[in-house]
């Protein structure tokens, strides 16, 4: 499960790459880690308004649960691609509320000898990318969102070796397709199968601090490589910053 992401680009860089404007410019803050217990918003581009970037609470709340959010206890940080059209939680969003979620890195757990170690995953050059996501509106300027996950490819099978999943990082050629409101269910399913980026990922282990409550991980130190617990994954771990 992808439960921690980062976005360290400046607002100006993001607007230049995406050709979109921030709907609430003062809301954007770069971050070195955001998790399910963080307070910082993710930032998304919706299919309803593809020229603007909006803040979004991570953890989708379907519209049928808005009147009873306290009673909605499901973990919706991630949505499995295989079930988004079958689940009452995601179906409406999958049909008409798809979004792009901005990031330039994320963390996945690797398991070895009953221990877990987070691996930082980013594209070559620490390039900005977009997760395929779903959203629901809270009001005109704030949303809830979830990241689509798909079966892991060869690389992420080695990293996320327990659940063998990976977030759907869209190839640049497919980002506009994902938020095309004319797509039907078959086309969305096909895009989830074939849309993962062809760009090269760099991955290396980092401190377990990213999973600990009460620890300040919003700084570049969190991205320093550490010694892998699994000797089979002991590779050169260049610093990215």
Residues 6+ apart with CB under 8 A from 33: 4, 5, 6, 107, 210, 217, 218, 222
Q: Which pLDDT value is given to residue 236?
A: 43
Rounded to 5°, angle at Cα 20 from 15 and 25: 70
Q: What are the structural domains of the chain?
A: 4-233 (3.90.1680.10)
Q: How far apart, in whole angstroms, are the C-alpha atoms of residue 94 and residue 89?
A: 10
3-class secondary structure, 223: helix
- Under DSSP, the state recorded for 104 is S
Question: Is residue 5 predicted with pLDDT exceeding 50?
Answer: yes
Residue 5 contacts residue 105 (beta carbons within 8 Å):
yes
Report the chain's mean pLDDT, rounded to a whole number: 90
Q: Which pLDDT value is given to residue 239?
A: 40
pLDDT in tens, 137-178: 988 888 999 999 999 999 999 999 999 999 999 999 999 999
Q: How far apart, in whole angstroms, are the C-alpha atoms of residue 148 and residue 48?
A: 18
Q: How far apart, in whole angstroms, are the C-alpha atoms of residue 193 and residue 188?
A: 9
Q: Which pLDDT value is given to residue 237?
A: 45
Q: Which pLDDT value is given to residue 105?
A: 96
Question: Is residue 8 predicted with pLDDT exceeding 70?
Answer: yes
DSSP letters along 129-162, please? EEEEEEEEESSSS-EEEEEEEEE--HHHHHHSTT
Q: Which pLDDT value is given to residue 217?
A: 82
């Amino acid at each position: 499960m992808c439960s921690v992401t980062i976005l360290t680009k400046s607002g100006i860089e993001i607007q230049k790459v995406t050709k979109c404007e921030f709907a609430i410019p003062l809301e954007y803050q770069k971050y070195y880690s955001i998790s399910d217990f963080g307070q910082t918003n993710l930032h998304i581009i919706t299919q309803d308004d593809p020229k603007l970037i909006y803040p979004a609470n991570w953890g989708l709340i379907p519209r049928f649960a808005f009147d009873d959010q306290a009673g909605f206890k499901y973990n919706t940080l991630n949505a499995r691609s295989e079930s988004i059209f079958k689940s009452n939680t995601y179906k409406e969003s999958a049909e008409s509320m798809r979004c792009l979620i901005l990031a330039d890195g994320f963390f996945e757990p690797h398991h070895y000898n009953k221990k877990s170690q987070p691996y930082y995953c980013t594209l070559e050059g620490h390039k900005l990318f977009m997760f395929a996501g779903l959203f629901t509106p809270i009001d005109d300027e704030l949303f809830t969102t979830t990241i689509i996950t798909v079966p892991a490819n060869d690389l992420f099978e080695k990293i996320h070796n327990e659940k063998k999943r990976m977030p759907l990082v869209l190839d640049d050629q497919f980002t506009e397709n994902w938020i095309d409101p004319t797509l039907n269910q078959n086309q969305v399913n096909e895009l989830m199968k074939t849309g993962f980026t062809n760009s090269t990922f760099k991955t290396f282990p980092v401190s377990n601090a990213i999973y600990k409550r009460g620890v300040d991980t919003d700084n570049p130190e969190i991205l320093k490589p550490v010694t892998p617990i699994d000797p089979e994954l002991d590779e050169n771990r260049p610093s990215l910053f």
